[in-house]
């Protein structure tokens, strides 16, 4: 479902990625682990079309995304890709429900249909009583669950998660990883997760190790 070949990325004189290959199958939960500076987040951002490689080819959902224009990439990303980051990046002036709806509205989908799906996702994530709350009224774990619902609103083929539990306590972090498995089983959702947490990575279907810009 996702295939990348010979991915290189350099910033100035620093070679961050040095010929990375990766294959992700539909419905998999895969974790990428490695020390800081290994290139994990850079790879995730390139696979998620937030950045472009200097060299290499990426195919997602049978589309060669490395040849798309910036406008085409933005439309493709909105339709097929979801993101969950270490910092939830919720908009403080909007409610939890509105935050989840925004990507669907940007995609031009029916306002009512998007809101209905957002409500179902928030209910599924145990936030049925928190939909009208703004982010500052939610706990860290609740905010991250809102971010997960937002990532799922457009029914993406894959969700990229960059240190999604980095700001959570150990119990909430484990609950978040267990949530990913529930979502995979419920929606056949695919996840690619970057994490420093080896224990939580062990819960994944596969673990990929990075060091010095390469898969090892």
Q: Is 181 exposed, middle or buried (0-12, 13-18, 19+ CB in 10 A)?
A: middle
Global pTM? 0.88
Compare 113 and 140 and report the one with higher pLDDT: 113
Q: According to the model, what pLDDT value does residue 181 have?
A: 85
Compare 183 and 194 and report the one with higher pLDDT: 194
The CA distance from 166 to 170, in Å, is 9
End-to-end CA distance of the chain: 22
Token pair for 142: 């609740």
| pLDDT tens readout for residues 20-56 | 999 999 999 999 998 888 899 999 999 999 899 999 9
Question: Taking 80 as the threshold, does the pLDDT of residue 88 lie above it?
Answer: no
Provide the edge-to-edge strand list for the sheet that holds 14-24.
Answer: 14-24, 2-11, 55-60, 63-64
Q: According to the model, what pLDDT value does residue 96 have?
A: 96
| pLDDT tens readout for residues 121-175 | 999 888 999 999 999 999 888 998 899 899 999 989 999 998 887 777 777 778 8
Instruction: Report the SS3 class of residue 100.
Output: helix
For the segment 63-91, the average pLDDT, to the nearest whole number, is: 86
| Domain boundaries, position 135 | 2-215
Specify the number of domains making up the chain.
Answer: 1
- On average, the pLDDT of the chain sits at 90
Tell me the CATH number at 23.
3.40.50.300
């Amino acid at each position: 479902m996702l295939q990348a070949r010979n991915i290189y990325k350099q910033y100035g004189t620093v070679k961050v990625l040095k010929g990375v290959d990766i294959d992700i199958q539909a419905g998999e939960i895969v974790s990428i682990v490695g020390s800081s500076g290994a290139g994990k987040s850079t790879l995730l951002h390139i696979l998620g079309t937030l950045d472009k490689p200097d060299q290499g080819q990426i195919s997602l959902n049978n589309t060669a995304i490395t040849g798309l224009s910036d406008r085409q990439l933005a439309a493709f990303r909105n339709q097929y890709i979801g993101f969950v980051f270490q910092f939830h990046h919720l908009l403080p002036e909007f409610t939890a429900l509105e935050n989840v709806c925004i990507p669907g509205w940007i995609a031009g989908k029916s306002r009512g249909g998007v809101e209905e799906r957002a409500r179902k996702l928030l209910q599924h994530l145990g936030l049925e009583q928190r939909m009208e709350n703004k982010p500052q009224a939610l706990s860290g774990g609740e905010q991250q669950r809102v971010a997960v619902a937002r990532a799922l609103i457009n029914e993406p083929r894959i969700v990229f998660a960059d240190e999604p539990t980095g700001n959570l306590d150990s119990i909430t972090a484990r609950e978040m990883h267990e949530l990913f498995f529930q979502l995979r089983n419920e929606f056949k959702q695919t996840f690619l997760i970057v994490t420093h947490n080896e224990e939580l990575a062990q819960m994944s279907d596969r673990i990929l190790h990075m060091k010095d810009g390469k898969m090892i």
